[in-house]
Structure 1
């Protein structure tokens, strides 16, 4: 499980989530160390005695995973691995990337009762946040596509330490670009880098000397003049940071005209973009729109895991 499939044929899907993605099995992207990360999470949650587990014992049971708020399901491989490490099996009723309305039966988990409860909170927390990010990503992507934007919508590196893999994964399930994964993925030169080196040109040349041809260089700029310097120095991407919606459109148009036929540089806009204002920034001269609003402080999707309730009490 983990392959996103089209859900556009289902009439119950709200229009804002009616988008189809088929990227194959995203589980194949995950590094092998994610299993150790999950092992660490389980150890953190139960570092010594499992008092509740003692109460319920080892009798095999089947718990039902319910989706209690509307959202896009994301985080399946993490959920699976939590319970795999505890000797439990998961059977999914929905596909990853699928939108659901509450209350939905999302999956069943089978295993010893003690182990089901050992994994419950770690699995639910991960699924809730990953699904929340996928949901917000899908919603914002729908907004920009409906407004006619055909460029790239991307997240940022403003992720939670220790939880980046889950958050970046959620962006991909939601259909947006995850941007650079870490400091080694791309060279991004911000104002502090430039000020420390002395100029944009010096900073770009130093970055190219060590990054070589294989690593892209992006430069954050505050004016058209700085953008011109970055492009002339050999930057691959120029970020128009906090230009404002009209300023972005003017600067992007001027830069595309000025460098037509001379450079293949991409233009990115960022800074304060949200679901409420992103439409005002849209223009086809911008190649990339990046925002942290799809993964910072997003509303989690609410899930619960319930063991069978006895039909009668002794």
Structure 2
């Protein structure tokens, strides 16, 4: 599991706080909570899952009030049960309440991504396959969501259009064929850039094997077709399966022998992990 540098986290968290605070700040908290009041609160998981995004959540409190102190009990990547205390925060009550929603939004969403990833990673752990994300991410949150995938035991696919070539059906149609598309791509890119090609049939895979690529994306293949495809590739390319994969369908797909299973909904539709802020004491 890698970590995210502050320079990546801070713009996202600042944007979320600015969106929430608007032009006048926290009217509710500032009108009700005395300026000198202090409090201690806990971040508590109400579901079973995997923690991710804690540094982003804690940064929200730090940016609101840097005097808030936090003790982390279960860092990112930890498995939690209902009632697990993830962290304890103490300091000015106004700052704790003002930063609460942004902190919980980021932590709950990213922990949901990690939890969804773990649901697939766990069931295919007996195979050689890994679950990977895609570019189907929420705008502005890609780096954070891909980090959350690693917290759940997954692998990252390309981060953008600029770090790898992925030739899909429309590219092939415009190029005039698989060979033409691959050759055009290789003539354009540098020697360190990998090329992946999406195929939707075994005959198309056979055509790709004639020209070669680094990775083949086997789209919407059945487990039986995947087994045949893996045999045809015979280690010549990394094999990746995709297409409406769930924890239930992932097992036979992984057992077919593919190297990767890419799943878009891990980032664009993951259910949040329910994490609450429990109030312990105030003075």
Using the size of structure 1 for normalisation, the TM-score is 0.82
Runs of 4 or more above 6 Å deviation = none
Match of 2:108 in 1: 128
1:1-314 map, 5 Å: 23=1, 26-27=2-3, 29-30=4-5, 32-49=7-24, 50-54=26-30, 55-58=32-35, 59-86=37-64, 87=66, 88-145=68-125, 148-256=126-234, 264-283=236-255, 285-308=257-280
Query: Given that residues 224 and 255 in structure 1 are in contact (C-alpha distance below 8 angstroms), is that contact kept between their aligned partners in structure 2?
Result: no
Listed one character per residue, the Cα deviations across residues 117-141 of structure 1 (whole Å, up to 9, x for unaligned) are 2211111011111111111212211
CA RMSD of aligned residues (A): 2.0
Structure possessing the higher relative contact order (Cα contacts under 8 Å, 6 or more residues apart): 2
Using the size of structure 2 for normalisation, the TM-score is 0.91
Shift of 1:56: 1.4
Listed one character per residue, the Cα deviations across residues 108-161 of structure 1 (whole Å, up to 9, x for unaligned) are 11232221122111110111111111112122111012xx31132212211111
Query: Given that residues 124 and 251 in structure 2 are in contact (C-alpha distance below 8 angstroms), is that contact kept between their aligned partners in structure 1?
Result: yes
Query: Given that residues 217 and 236 in structure 1 are in contact (C-alpha distance below 8 angstroms), is that contact kept between their aligned partners in structure 2?
Result: yes
Number of equivalenced pairs: 278
Match of 1:10 in 2: none
Q: Higher helix proportion, which one?
A: 2
Find the aligned partners of 2:87 and 2:259 in 1 and give their Cα distance: 39
Instruction: Give unpaired runs (5+ residues) of structure 2.
Output: none
Find the aligned partners of 1:286 and 1:97 in 2 and give their Cα distance: 25
Find the aligned partners of 1:120 and 1:288 in 2 and give their Cα distance: 37
